[in-house]
Structure 1
């Protein structure tokens, strides 16, 4: 596997692990200092777009089917497989627990000194006033989702890039058949 595949996959896996760690930290008491940072979401979105799209382009250029990609991933070292699998499982569990405990409130904000959130309950959609503690809970839940989903997508990009690199390596190592000339 070429060094660009290793670097691309390592960066994607590292960013995914970092985002999942930050999403997990939202369950600790108190608010994360990143709650009011608006540029963080933009930075995550831009880096995710660049990393994920380039991984998809690399994957499409191989022309391999899903089964070949899975087999290529299975040829990676066991520690790499285990790490990516554990991180992906962590991300999925994090998202499932986050969505199960989230409730029906989203997009908490302060308007005119009051805490409000958008209620997504069927037949009762709209903005409702909430307490300050509930406001903090909704903020953390929103932040957890905003961090966990890109984290899982970064891990998907790492999977795609590392499997593609392994496919490229295997294609380069495959023996080529030479036609012998009759002379």
Structure 2
């Protein structure tokens, strides 16, 4: 579920790169994304606590071998999701604007000027306002996609480390090649 949520969030983020109007239903999409992310992280943390209660300790040194044991297609998907999320987020950070979309009032469009000390609102054209809204939407959805990809990765690592599966992590000190 976390992989699907990550893919959906990053797809919506990528749609903001297309010219035209901003993504419709943005507020509802963000609400759904973060309403699903919160339970996913709770379940991931709970699985990690349950795994630790069973006596299995997953250290940082165990993460990479657990990821390496995942099927190649899953590893490629995780890489693609993280690379896309980082690219979309970084692209938004290097944008040459110091403004954020503000509000509309009586057919006039306002943006928040982050370059001023008081963050005052300045009037902008509709096209500039739409571009600022797409920029803001891109960042929000890309960050949500990265968080969902992180939750999916942690869930897969914990799943690999669980003793009930056929492919659990060997105890520390044992050579896995033997």
The aligned counterpart of 1:157 is 151
Counterpart secondary structure, 2:100:
strand
Q: Distance in 1 between matches of 2:75 and 2:36?
A: 23
Counterpart secondary structure, 1:101:
coil
Q: Which runs of 5+ in 1 are unaligned?
A: 1-10, 176-183
The aligned counterpart of 1:8 is none
The aligned counterpart of 2:175 is none
The answer as to whether partners of 2:16 and 2:23 remain within 8 angstroms in 1 is: no
Q: Distance in 2 between matches of 1:61 and 1:122?
A: 50
Aligned pair count reads: 165
Q: TM-score, normalised by structure 1?
A: 0.80
Higher normalized contact order (CA 8 Å, seq sep 6+, divided by chain length): 1
Q: Does 1:115 align with 2:109?
A: yes
Q: CA deviation at 1:22?
A: 1.1
Q: Does 1:13 align with 2:3?
A: yes
The aligned counterpart of 2:35 is 46
Q: Does 1:104 align with 2:93?
A: no
Quick one: structure 1 residues 39 and 114, their matched pair in 2 at CA, closer, same or farther if it must change by over 3 Å? same
Q: CA deviation at 1:88?
A: 0.5
Q: Which has the larger radius of gyration?
A: 1
Once superposed, what is the RMSD of the aligned Cα atoms? 2.3
Q: Give the one of 91, 104, 111 matched to 2:85.
A: 91
Q: Distance in 2 between matches of 1:32 and 1:55?
A: 33
The answer as to whether partners of 2:48 and 2:158 remain within 8 angstroms in 1 is: yes
Q: Give the one of 72, 80, 84 matched to 2:74.
A: 80
Greater per-residue helix proportion: 1
Q: Which runs of 5+ in 2 are unaligned?
A: 52-56, 171-178
The answer as to whether partners of 1:56 and 1:157 remain within 8 angstroms in 2 is: no
Q: CA deviation at 1:40?
A: 2.2
The answer as to whether partners of 1:102 and 1:141 remain within 8 angstroms in 2 is: no
Quick one: structure 1 residues 173 and 38, their matched pair in 2 at CA, closer, same or farther if it must change by over 3 Å? closer
Q: TM-score, normalised by structure 2?
A: 0.82
Q: Distance in 1 between matches of 2:8 and 2:111?
A: 28
Q: CA deviation at 1:107?
A: 3.4
